Structures are given as structure tokens and as C-alpha cells.
Amino acid sequence: MLFATLSLVLAFLTSCGEKSSGSKLLLNEVLVCNESNYQDDYGQHSAWVEIFNKSYTSADLAGWYLKHRTGTQADTMSYFIPKGDVLTIVKPRQHALFWADGHPNKGTFHTSFTLDPTQDNWIGLYDGGGRLVDQVTVKAGLLAADQSYAHINDAADEWEVKGASSDKYVTPSTNNQTLDSNYKRDKFKVQDSTGIGMAITAMSVVFSGLLILFVSFMLAGRIALNMHHRHKNRQQAAKEARKAASAATAKAASSKQDAAQASGKAPEGEVYAAIAMALYELQANVHDVESNVLTIKRTAPSAWSNKANTLRQMPEKK
């Protein structure tokens, strides 16, 4: 009884379509007897094994293993997928096709083993660490010539025979299920047979986009104009402040001159210089924003500023 139970468990583990759940790559379709199906790059009709990348990121098969065993043989043929070939990188939701022709010298995608249509064919996919990531067993007599054993859909749990009827195609290097119709398109065609709804929707989207652009540019223009006016007002205020400062300086100098004249004392030269400078700055508008105090500091002449010391002395003639 125990032996029978163990046999059932082992049979279940090696049944068709069993695979591990944590791998991006998995076995997707197998064709054992190729008489008039897909040809390889040498024009030969050979058995093939298809691998599918079910993820949405690329996956590299370099360094992985394809292993094969026929019937009840204990020996397993192993094919090491070589490194250094960029074609071993399988793009997201794409396929890689390996020819089981027993001629690995033909290229990366030609295995060292062949498939026997008269016996059970077990195929295993192992990663670079030697871990089994997927396996499938194609029973003897299950497939006729040019028929394949594949998932109903890519990466689906169920397997089926393809090529036995006109609605189930053998699909090497492409999706396992080919759709002859588009459900969404057909549904839309029923709901809007004249296309009026599509036209109204398209025009609404276009005019809505134009309206949004118009409002955006109008607001941007107003913001830029307001910023320009504020900057211009600040410049005008600064200009008026400079004029007021220059006028105050001139007024202060004039008041000082009037006070000097009223006291009967002649104004000093510095007063005239201050008045002239204030008037010039007022007319030329070059006065800076500063206090209304103009400081003139007298310095006594020194030997360094004496012009006589800078003259060239001529030698005396004797």
C-alpha cells in the first residue's frame, strides 16, 4: 500500500505540465515529430522546445540547462546553454526556440539531444544553480506528426494538443493562442455603428485641450504683465527718491550759503563745490540713494603731493 502511494505521488510530480511558480522562464510548447512544420536556420525540420518569459522584464538563459530523458531511462541528456550570445536574453513576454536536433555545433539554439516520438519525452529546464524551474512530459503517442503540446495560453496552467484542428495552431516563437477577433472593437462597433459617438468624443477632447491651452497662456500673460508693472513702479520710486535726495542736498547747500551771506561772511569754496555737485547730479540723474550729508575733509599738503617733487631735475652745466 505504501509503495503504491509513493508511486502515485511520483507520477503526479512528473505529470504533464508541472512547473515551479517562482521563475520568469518556463517551458511553453514542445513539438516532437517535425515533418513539414517550422524549419530551422539550416532549412531542416527538427523537433523543437519553446521557452517563454512570462515577466515584464528581460531574462537571460545563458548558463541554464535543458535536460531530456526518454521512456524509463535513468540517464538524462543535458544541454548547457552557452554564455556570450546576446540572443539568449529573452525580452518581456517573448519566446526562445531551441532545436532538439542533436547538433549543438550548429549554434546556441541547437541542443545536444533529440526527441523520440515513440517514447515518453521528459524535458526539464534548470537555472544556472542547478535548480529545476520547470518540466513537462510528452507521452508517447500523444502527438501526431507536426502537432505540438503547449499551454492553452502563454504561461497558463492547462496544456493541450495544437495542430489537431483548424482553430488550434502550432505556434513556434509566438503566442500560443491566436485571436481572430478583437472583443473591445466588436463591442464598440455594436454600440456605435455610425461612428457619431467616436466623432463627438474626439472633437470634445481636441476642443478641451485647446481651451486648457488658451486659459493657461492667458493666465501666464497676465502674471508676466503684473510682474513688469511692479518692476517699473519700483524703478520709478527709486528715481523719485534719488531726485528728492539731490534736491535736499542742493537746498541744504543753498541755505548754508544764504546764512553765510546774511552774516556778512563770504561762503567758502567747498560750499560752491557742493552746490555745483548737487545741481549736476540733479540734472544728470546720477545721484544714488543715500543720506543728505556731504562730507568734505581738508588735508594738509605733504611732500608726497608737492608737484615740484615730481618734476624732472635737469643736471647743472659747468
User: What are all long-range contacts of 142-146, with beta carbons under 8 Å and residues at least 24 apart?
Assistant: 143/31, 143/32, 143/33, 143/117, 144/33, 145/33, 145/34, 145/35, 145/36, 145/117, 146/31, 146/33, 146/34, 146/35, 146/36, 146/37, 146/170
How many Å separate Cα 251 from the centre of its chain? Answer: 69
| Predicted pLDDT of residue 166 | 80
Position of cell 524703478?
A: 235
Q: Which three cell numbers stand for residue 166?
A: 483548424
146 Rama sector, left if φ>0, alpha if ψ -120 to 50, beta otherwise: left
Inter-residue contact 110 to 99 (CB < 8 Å): yes
Give the Cα separation of 114 and 238 in Å (integer).
Answer: 93
The domain segmentation of the chain, as residue ranges, is 11-179, 207-299
Give the Cα separation of 149 and 17 in Å (integer).
Answer: 9
Strand pairing partners for 95?
A: 52
Strand pairing partners for 96?
A: 51
| Predicted pLDDT of residue 309 | 61
The pLDDT tens digits along the chain (318 residues) read 444 444 444 444 444 444 444 689 999 999 999 999 999 999 999 999 999 999 999 999 999 999 999 987 778 999 999 999 999 999 999 999 999 999 999 999 999 999 999 999 999 999 999 999 999 999 999 999 999 999 999 989 999 999 988 888 899 999 988 666 676 777 777 888 888 888 899 999 999 999 999 999 999 999 999 999 999 999 988 888 888 887 787 777 677 667 766 665 555 666 777 777 777 776 766 655 555 665 666 666 666 666 666 656 666 676
Of the candidates 136, 135, 169, the one whose C-alpha atom is nearest the C-alpha of residue 152 is 169
| Predicted pLDDT of residue 39 | 94
Residues 6+ apart with CB under 8 A from 76: 67, 68, 69, 124
Give the Cα separation of 193 and 175 in Å (integer).
Answer: 31
Give the Cα separation of 210 and 218 in Å (integer).
Answer: 12
| Predicted pLDDT of residue 34 | 96
Strand pairing partners for 123?
A: 68, 136
Q: What is the DSSP letter of 166?
A: T
Superfamily of domain 11-179: Lamin Tail domain (2.60.40.1260)
Of the candidates 145, 157, 29, 152, the one whose C-alpha atom is nearest the C-alpha of residue 95 is 29
| Predicted pLDDT of residue 3 | 46
Q: Which three cell numbers stand for residue 93?
A: 513576454
Which contiguous run of DSSP H or E holds residue 190?
Answer: helix 183-191
Encoded amino acid at 281, one letter: E
What tens digit of pLDDT does each residue of 149-207 get? Answer: 999 999 899 999 999 888 888 999 999 886 666 767 777 778 888 888 888 999 999 99
